[in-house]
Structure 1
Amino acid sequence: MLTETDIDLKPRHIAIIMDGNNRYGKQHELGKGEGHIKGKDALDPVVEYCREVGIEVLTVFAFSSENWQRPPSEVALLMHLLSVTISEQLPRMQKYQIQLRFIGDRSQLSDDLQAQMADAEAQTAHYDAMRLVIAISYGGQWDIAHAAKQLAAQVQTGQLAVEEITKEKLGAYVQLADEPAVDMLIRTGGEYRLSNFLLWQSAYAELFFTQTLWPNFSAEELDGMLKEFSQRQRRFGKTSEQVASTTTN
């Protein structure tokens, strides 16, 4: 397993699409919703590993804006599990000095869940070992549209001219604008798509896809991905020669 000083190139921000809970449940002939419960339990060792190796931010996709279209019984179960997850994570955040944050459209969530989220954020706001971000009722397109509305309002009131709009100004209003951009985006479950997750923030993320269903995903597999990440050349539009020159200077 890696340690904090084992690799030269390490992501500051990892994002994970935790896919495959339902398929795991079916494969193991579990009761309805049991796959999601197994998926909830898989998060803890991954969080602990990220803290151990010095990852600054871990963002996980718990419930998308599109997930509201699922059967009401499954939505209700997922909302319950989110509440349970927050309750279970809070003492762990306190133990490991991890800040807990949430992103997404909270207006669709129950008042109780919104209050629970706000309380967890307030209680952990001063921790600085790592940030764990849980995306709930989140969609990348919603995020960008929401940011655009902020700029449109400024244009409407005369605070901002249309020609003054830049990607930097728009980027200042997307979720997690105060965090490093996503360096490494992982999707479990064998699917090869982003599913509307952190579209703006992941513009230059290194993508990793695995057939492993989320409940089976382990710190050991993440460790292997980090080793591969450290071998990739991140050019950000430059040539390989330019990157090599910058690295050696």
Structure 2
Amino acid sequence: MLPIPPLHKYLIVVCHLCKDPKNCIIVKKAMTRLLLFILLLLGQVAFAQYKDTSLGKPIFWYRVNDPWAMFIGAEGPVFILYDSGKILFWKNGAYQLAQADDQELSELKSDLHLHDTLFFQSRFINAVDPENGIVCCDHPTYTISYRIDTVNNITVLGSIRNSKYRKHIPDQFLAVHDFVSNFDDDKAIFWAPEKVEVLLSDYSHSPDSPIKWPSDWPDLSSPDTRKQGGGYATSIYLDKKYLKQLNKLLKQRREKQAFEINGRKYFVGYRFPIPGLW
């Protein structure tokens, strides 16, 4: 999902409502509307991106979303397995690229339990409140995406590190999480995309003086810039040589400070375009 400050505030309100049983119906309605909005926005953004097939077709990927991250959902998958045997995985703060041969690819599928019926259809597992089904947003989510004919998404709500929630999570899912978290390959090489996708959402109500966007960087008028989600959000594609400087600017930013780009204020985040996904 894209960085959306007003949405983040709304999530916090819903989380507080969640703690009062009298508000269960209100919370369920609010969360339903909110999740529908998120899914619609995410779908429009994700499918609008150019699909890079240089690594092959993704057949499995695993993603963790932290609800308290500065940019909700801007995190990329921590593990992606391609039909070509290529493996893209996150380790020590960077993506690594490895190559599996046919036998290793078969063994990987076995280690990931991809033949288990758990992954044959999409499902949502609420480990926080499995009995009442109340969805509170102040918990991480974990999503396994597995492509058979179509993509099946198995999502778990609730921290896997919390023993109270962990007992409500299927063993097969936990096995995948543990395998992916510990995966490494001695022959893997550093990987980064040629361009970084900078995510913008309107922050015109920011009360702080904005940070000026560097004049020699791509901006709203650049040919590669794209409006997403019916104009709700914008993506600017920045050469990877500027990533270090971008991170420096983001670290300098104050809590309520926006970036000024072409005379307008924006909330800024970024993600790496992942080949075959977005």
Do these two structures clear the TM 0.5 threshold for a shared fold by scoring above it?
Answer: no
Bin for the TM-score computed over the shorter chain: under 0.3
Say which structure is richer in strand: 2
Say which structure is richer in helix: 1
Higher relative contact order (CA 8 A, sep 6+): 1
Q: TM-score, normalised by structure 1?
A: 0.27
Q: TM-score, normalised by structure 2?
A: 0.25
